[in-house]
Structure 1
Amino acid sequence: MTSPKIVNTATGSIVDVLGLQVGHFTHSQRLTGCSVVLAPQGAVGAVDVRGAAPGTRETDLLDPSNLVEKVHAVLLSGGSAFGLDAASGVMRWLDEHGIGFETGYGRVPIVPAAVLFDLPVVRPGDQAHIRPDADAGYAACQAASNKTPAAGNVGAGAGASVGKLFGLNRAMKGGIGNASVRVGPWVVGALVACNAIGDVLDPATGQVIAGARTADGQSLLDTQAALLRGERSTRPMPGTNTTIGVIATNATLNKAQAKRLAVSAHDGLARTIRPAHTTLDGDTLFALATGTETSAPDLMLLTVMAAEATALATVNAICQARGIETNLGVLPSATDWH
């Protein structure tokens, strides 16, 4: 196999943003799981969906014109639409801890969520019917802390894969990754679960580091170049892919400004995933602003930081992933070839 050079410059994580905690739950009997970003004090939330086949929950309330200002957690999950059930467990945990939107008749936790499609990734001996459920979401909350989260084959990235346009048997292992960027008083962090149909590139070199392999499995194909040469894909079903993530900052933002942060963060996906935002992906990024830094925000700078943190976290997900054996063959990781 060829050995692509990997430049992993990611440092830090989303928990470098004061006020946030991250927890993973990974099933032991099936390579799937979920990841939660907790904001116990509440954080101004927003979302931007660029893929054509998203699986989401509670995204309408994040529109700047709608009532609820703050969210209390964001869930990222495997399991396709089944994985949205894990958000119920996050709500249960938050409710038990008295965290939520005050209605006068009790606190209602606000938990937006997005899922990725990992159903085909089954190891020999796995129980294929298992998907993240409410208990999985609850367990992720119990595991949450302000320590740097684990990366690679954990949580929402446990069953992630990349480079699937020419079939899963020619794909590689995806995962979940972290990064943060600091400039002056501001911090922007990212947590990204990469399950793209496209390839993943090192944005510093433009080199593909993981993705579709050639028919003999011994080298990287370069999906975009292959498509432009006229090679035909296996035309996988829409929605069977998706990269999802959370971008957070300590800046004080309103919902419209947080929305701009989520929009700009997608530039980071476009730099590292090729092709990105396809009709076969449900690419979704949430933004959170905790407001612990009270100085007037430099939105131009923050949007640049968001794109950079997203790109670094995406590459980190691939660098931390490890190859696995599945019922459809081996999914190697980028580090297997390094």
Structure 2
Amino acid sequence: MTGPAPTDSLTDVAGIEVGHFTDPRRPTGCTVVLAREGAVGGVDVRGAAPGTRETDLLEPGNTVGVVHAVLLSGGSAYGLDAAGGVMRWLEAHGIGLEVGAARVPIVPAAVLFDLGLGDARIRPDAAAGAAACAAASRAPVAQGNVGAGAGATVAKMFGMARAMKGGIGSASITIGGVTVGALVACNALGDVRDPDSGQLVAGARGADGTGFVDTRRALLAGEPPLPILAGTQTTIGVIATDAQLDKAQARRLAQVGHDGLARSIDPVHTLSDGDTLFVLATGGAPRRSDAPGMTVLCVMAAEVVARATVRAVRAARSLEVGGLWLPAASDFEVPRR
């Protein structure tokens, strides 16, 4: 089989579950990707302002080789608290690294900034992380204004008044019995573009609030960006595969996954973004003669990251909070017949 996997989302990867917690009090939340049986992990951080946890552990030369979950969260650095709830939930379910005196779940995490929408004192905590775990399943992944994508926004180079709603999206591909999927929470400073058509899907709007100015072209034409605080953006995500990989290969897959961000976000990896991609390799795919090697797996990873990023904004819905209106891509796109 070649092409989109059955649900065209991350849960097509054997051994992977996804759960969201969306806080009803303001647009924020967190998303957990569970690998109950453990998975080989990797990570690559390209943005200049990341908020992360347990990334050093994933270095190929370091000892621990198994990851049990990855957390993606809103709430900026405060959102890292939600990883404690993920750990406690996993511990209660007997999942973790056996160290003799205890069982320690390994939970890398990354956060994005959404504190500018609503009451910044409300952010994902340990209870939110546990709730996301309790909601996790193999069902098709919910996308748009949910979980870590609830408070995500994009296209903010010229200020929030000209920005649009971001979100969370997913995609997957199967080739030769091996599946690669991605889950991306897109909260980028830059515009989001469909790499297949070259068309902007969500971008900085004109001064009158209508139409796209094309951020890259506007900057090159001399329009200055508004002052931007470091760390107030960030796109984060998880690539998962059932291929059998070691830690070095998992890291390589995370590295090339950023090619998918570069195809779909413009500009990307800025001084204000903390763009981070994790990899989970469950190893559940049977060995087959026609299974893809690393070159094809890398192409698959970049492709699903690009598709998931575009879907994150296409699945999003417009939002009004505190007098700020954030339109969604669907408000600008012509309905397809």
Spell out, residue by residue over 1:288-314, the C-alpha distance to the aligned partner (whole angstroms, 9 max, x if none): 100002427610110000000000100
- SS for the counterpart of 1:147 is coil
Contact map agreement 1:323 1:333 (CA 8 A) in 2: yes
Render the CA deviation track for 1:184-223: whole Å, top value 9, x for unaligned. 1110000000000000001111111102111110111110
8 A contact 1:168–1:328 mirrored in 2: no
CA deviations over 1:38-60 (Å, ceiling 9, x no partner): 00000000000000000000000
What is the CA-CA distance between 1:128 and the residue it aligns to?
3.6
Which of 40, 43, 47 is 2:39 aligned to?
43
In structure 2, the residue matched to 1:5 is none
1:113 counterpart residue number: 109
Give the C-alpha shift of residue 329 in structure 1. 1.6
Q: Per the alignment, in what secondary structure is the counterpart of residue 291 of structure 1?
A: coil
* Mapping of residues 190-269 of structure 1, within 5 Å: 190-269=182-261
Residues 208-244 of structure 1 show CA distances to partners (whole Å, capped at 9, x for unaligned) of 1102111110111110000000100102101100000
Distance 1:265 1:94 in 2: 27
Q: 1:315 aligns with which of 301, 310, 313?
A: 310
Q: CA deviation at 1:328?
A: 4.6
> Partners in 2 of 1:328 and 1:159 — Cα distance?
15
Query: Residues 4-62 of structure 1, C-alpha deviation per residue, up to 9 Å, x if partnerless?
Result: xxxxx996111100001000000000110000000000000000000000000000000
What are the residue-to-residue correspondences of 1:9-158 with 2, within 5 Å? Answer: 12-122=8-118, 127-158=119-150
Segments of structure 2 that go 5 or more residues without pairing to the other structure are none
CA RMSD of aligned residues (A): 1.2
Give 1:76's aligned amino acid: L
Q: What code does the residue aligned with 1:335 have?
A: S
The equivalences for 1:278-297 within 5 A come to 278-295=270-287
| Partner amino acid, structure 1, of 2:81 | D
Three-state SS of the structure 1 residue aligned to 2:242 is strand
| 1:111-159 deviation per Cα after TM superposition (whole angstroms, max 9, x unaligned) | 000000001122xxxx441100000000000000000111000000000
Question: One-letter code of the match for 2:311?
Answer: N
Q: Can you give the 5+ residue segments of structure 1 that lack an aligned partner in the other structure? A: 1-8
Cα distance between partner residues in 2 of 1:249 and 1:288: 6
Q: TM-score, normalised by structure 2?
A: 0.95
Partner of 1:151, secondary structure, is coil
Residues 149 and 178 of structure 1 are in contact (CA less than 8 Å); yes or no, is this contact kept in structure 2? yes
**Structure 1 residue aligned with 2:322:** 327
- C-alpha deviation, 1:270, in angstroms: 0.3
State TM-score, norm by structure 1: 0.95
Match of residue 4 from structure 1 = none
- The 2-side partners of 1:233 and 1:197 are apart by 11
Q: Report the CA distance between 1:163 and its aligned residue.
A: 0.3
The alignment covers a number of residue pairs equal to: 326
CA distance in 1, matches of 2:285, 2:170: 21
How far, CA to CA, are the matches of 1:287 and 1:235 in structure 2?
33
| 8 Å Cα contact 2:43-2:254 kept in structure 1 | yes
- Report what 2:153 is aligned to: 161
- Aligned mates of 1:139, 1:312 — CA distance in 2: 27
Contact 2:18–2:31 under 8 Å retained in 1 = yes
Calculate percent identity across the aligned residue pairs: 65
**Contact 1:177–1:191 under 8 Å retained in 2:** yes
Q: Do the aligned partners of 2:177 and 2:286 also contact (CA within 8 Å) in 1?
A: no
Matches of 2:303 and 2:311, distance apart in 1:
12
CA distance in structure 2 between the aligned counterparts of 1:235 and 1:269, rounded to whole angstroms: 23
Q: Name 1:3's counterpart in structure 2.
A: none
Aligned residues of 2:176 and 2:292 also touching (Cα < 8 A)? no
Q: CA separation in 1, counterparts of 2:11 and 2:242?
A: 10
Contact 1:252 1:297 in 2 (8 A): no
Could you tell me how far apart the structure 2 residues matched to 1:19 and 1:74 are?
A: 13
